[in-house]
Structure 1
């Protein structure tokens, strides 16, 4: 271990406090933290150099705590300058930390051990909070279920709460681009690997992402890329339903053990939006203490995997880009220092309404008073609030060898895909997308909350996918996805209850489009796009019912969407009244 003295030259103004004189900051490098099984993980500890005890923040990362990671390093210095001690540690098996890297599996017990180690240090008050986003948020959820006694609050941003349901899959469909790009390309070993092998100008044609992701079976895609297997990739594919392997590490199974307040933060176009929402709702309704339930908060902006003003093709205005650090600081000051800054009286939900580009505070999620409004699919590609009469059906042909290419939507951080609110024009003319569009709106339609598709459909295969997009069509014809959802048909009874289809039999499906907040303006139209693929964001359903890992035989499927009086299909929009 060695120590660096960082001189602080800026004057700081804490909220509600007088200016603080500049002071040096200490960074203790390579601090060993012993875990219960004898493994040692290593951390950098940032703290004020003056003697004393400080409220302590734990950050656990698989991406390296080294000082070359400038953004993380600067954030830790900022917190130390504000009077916090920060323990920034590599997780087990990554970078300097000992042990075997096996994503997700040890984070609960390791998180408990690191929190309690931090609380015992002579520079700590014994009060500990956690923060960080993405995997750094997941490790917080895992730790929360272990109930470490020194933990006071947590701030998991853009994080999953159910690794099967809102990381590895959505609706049972495998997040191919993300899982492969993250789990095989960048994170197979102790040190994060570059992607230029697969994207750079010198990449072999057969190894470029656009070719590699077409490889079947998925089980050997790792060998195709690296000539050897990646264990966790094989494990994910082998456990292709929500079985005991996934339930053992699902935070949603343990919301009732969360004892402290949690701030969840996310984006309407983030891949982990379901975790952001489910985490808030889970703690608010199932948390183990009144303090946890009453003080848990949620913020969702028009973002992807982090705050920004512009995402996809849309600029949401200057107020959209809110610094995450401002939320973190305010949250920690309230819970760790007792600063009276209004965290306890803030609206529990703060969300950004797209379409009018405005933030608004809400009292809960679902928003109280929201009314479900059914918009029915109609013959001729119409969409209206009137239930269909008589007969009606629309058919298309889905060929896994020619899937619909990913064009916008909720994605992140794996192999390159186009994400966010992106104009759907490149998909115009495809015969394997059916579209249902409303008349031009004469008054605003404001929605905020969970969006679902009540779909009646038939396929001639044993399995298939149903991919749904909710689209805002502008007066100039540009069409931007506001929410999306997918369901692998075999999981229609539940992610832990796979059951193949009887070919040719109509089924009723409920497809979760997660959530959104948007005002569809007068002059716009509301559109629903339905197809059976979204590649490479999701793997291609081969329509055979073969196992995810080993399937190699694509078959063309004939798909029928029903919109008749007997089988009325509708998208259910959560309409906000009195907006």
Structure 2
């Protein structure tokens, strides 16, 4: 089908079908200038047409691109079944090859998009396909297993359920003839709180009928060969084209965005922008905090992305700085020459048995709490993407939220630093080294960085989790000996936060963050097979002092170094 875009009599709209190597055809809408061949901006998406309306099609046309918006396999009007991530490399490479042979493409192709739309870019870029000259992935993980589905071994239940509910609902018309599917899906969507708690997790009628990936993700927790077969993690360093990576301090894939940038930076042409944003919100309001000048509109993000892609297509030097970050608490953007900033003072702040947090190594000691998986610590803010809550969704807002909601709980250890006599800027990756023992055969440990205000507000800044048996990585599960002290390295993500004079820095340690992450029963059972009757309360003992220096590593930016403001 060919038509004219309203009000743009020199532009055409066409429905096109692209052949894949296995005979399937993927549907797409092509927007192009009738005057002749142009570089093409390719957007590959698994989402329905309404979610594509926010794509910058007209600005891209104005920038001189043709634009192809293609439905991923098994979605929209495309053939096949959506098997999450499994076909994106082959389908993406086939699409790029097809584009280079079209008379309206001048041989130069760029790719654009966020989340899944960013993952499909990285799925092909490491193969160095002909014609691809630049990519612009936004809020994109660095690995499917340990980064998207799991985080240091803990199943990311909240985002997994939210994404599957959204995608299954969009695919429901393709499954209209299947008995009971719509009713089962409606039941999950109507009561996500119950859907989070129901066990075993692998049993989700409606979701599993439409998206087999739900059971695959859970059933292949330890299947290294499967995950490596679909992952682009090991191929990212092979990317030979410029890329503009965009992330948010409260995006659940922030670790991935930063990891993608640092992995690909040696190839040159890499740029990074990180704002005070969550996965789907770039307004500059995250949780309970407004960040002045922090919106995507304030820095003309879309304009920067299209300018970068156009400059890359033309082979022109990029006009963007290497790194742009928003410093929360300071309320301003700053440019850097690299990430992490080279001038960082990496400080160790030690946790003490008396609840202290400071630069001096404390004496030996321990602190205990009891973790009960039947009564997990509830999720309050953070880098989350979740559906529903008892208050209509406000309870699961991502971003910085007041942790005083959890003050009555006794299963959280809180370590608070002294009142700051000067501003302290923390910008960079965050890591907690926790020396701890558990009475259970397996458990989780969580860590949260908190900004305590003079009036008592305790605002969450960043958090992380590690599953004990995966303390050395998901490829090497190790048993836990009850009562034995292990060192757990908890990746708390990254931030750029100015802790103001008069504030205090705090670290919270617990063993659950539900329903952002699944509940660890304490038995070592794989996440998809857990049943509630095997839940085991665990006594957790955290150790401190010279032999067991539990601590957080804070990337402090020296105050006497000049800033390069955007």
TM-score under structure 1 length normalisation: 0.89
2:276/2:294 contact within 8 Å kept? no
Aligned to 1:442: 421
For 2:192 and 2:248, the matched residues in 1 are separated by 26
For 1:32 and 1:206, the matched residues in 2 are separated by 33
Is 1:408–2:381 an aligned residue pair?
yes
For 1:5 and 1:134, the matched residues in 2 are separated by 28
Cα deviation for residue 494 of structure 1 reads 1.6
For 2:462 and 2:315, the matched residues in 1 are separated by 39
For 2:366 and 2:190, the matched residues in 1 are separated by 42
For 1:226 and 1:337, the matched residues in 2 are separated by 44
Change in 2 beyond 3 A, CA 1:336/1:478: same
Cα deviation for residue 369 of structure 1 reads 2.4
For 1:284 and 1:132, the matched residues in 2 are separated by 20
1:108/1:146 contact within 8 Å kept? no
Is 1:216–2:193 an aligned residue pair?
no
Q: Deviations over 1:16-60 (max 9, x none)?
A: xxxxxxx6321112x0111111110011011123x2111111000
Is 1:324–2:307 an aligned residue pair?
no
For 1:256 and 1:210, the matched residues in 2 are separated by 40
Aligned to 2:230: 249
Partner SS, residue 159 of structure 1 = coil
Aligned to 1:56: 40
Aligned to 2:145: 164
Aligned to 1:290: none
2:47/2:170 contact within 8 Å kept? no
Change in 2 beyond 3 A, CA 1:308/1:207: closer
Is 1:358–2:341 an aligned residue pair?
no
Cα deviation for residue 336 of structure 1 reads 1.6
2:218/2:527 contact within 8 Å kept? yes
Cα deviation for residue 317 of structure 1 reads 0.4
Give the count of matched residue pairs.
Answer: 542
Residues 455-534 of structure 1 aligned to structure 2 (within 5 Å): 455-534=434-513
Aligned to 2:285: 310
Cα deviation for residue 312 of structure 1 reads 0.6
Aligned with 1:383 (options 344, 354, 357): 357
Deviates more, 1:242-251 or 1:487-496: 242-251
For 1:433 and 1:32, the matched residues in 2 are separated by 55
Q: Deviations over 1:105-158 (max 9, x none)?
A: 011111111122122211111100000000000000001122211000000001
Q: Deviations over 1:338-391 (max 9, x none)?
A: 566623xx2x111111110111111112211212111111132111111012x3
For 1:142 and 1:423, the matched residues in 2 are separated by 38
Superposed structure 1 runs of 4+ greater than 4 Å apart: 202-207, 225-230, 338-341, 413-416
Cα deviation for residue 228 of structure 1 reads 4.9
| Cα-Cα RMSD | 2.3
For 2:466 and 2:430, the matched residues in 1 are separated by 14
Partner SS, residue 308 of structure 2 = helix
Aligned with 1:272 (options 253, 275, 287): 253
TM-score under structure 2 length normalisation: 0.91
Deviates more, 1:146-155 or 1:414-423: 414-423
Change in 2 beyond 3 A, CA 1:382/1:557: same
For 1:240 and 1:179, the matched residues in 2 are separated by 14
Residues 556-571 of structure 1 aligned to structure 2 (within 5 Å): 556-571=537-552
1:470/1:529 contact within 8 Å kept? yes
- For structure 1, the 5+ residue unaligned runs are 9-22, 286-292
Change in 2 beyond 3 A, CA 1:441/1:116: same
Cα deviation for residue 568 of structure 1 reads 1.6
Residues 13-92 of structure 1 aligned to structure 2 (within 5 Å): 24-29=10-15, 31-49=16-34, 51-64=35-48, 66=49, 68-69=50-51, 71-72=53-54, 75-92=56-73
Q: Deviations over 1:291-327 (max 9, x none)?
A: xx22111110010014222111000003444343112
Cα deviation for residue 70 of structure 1 reads 6.3
- For structure 2, the 5+ residue unaligned runs are 174-179, 562-566
Residues 332-343 of structure 1 aligned to structure 2 (within 5 Å): 332-338=309-315, 342-343=319-320
2:349/2:357 contact within 8 Å kept? yes
Is 1:451–2:437 an aligned residue pair?
no
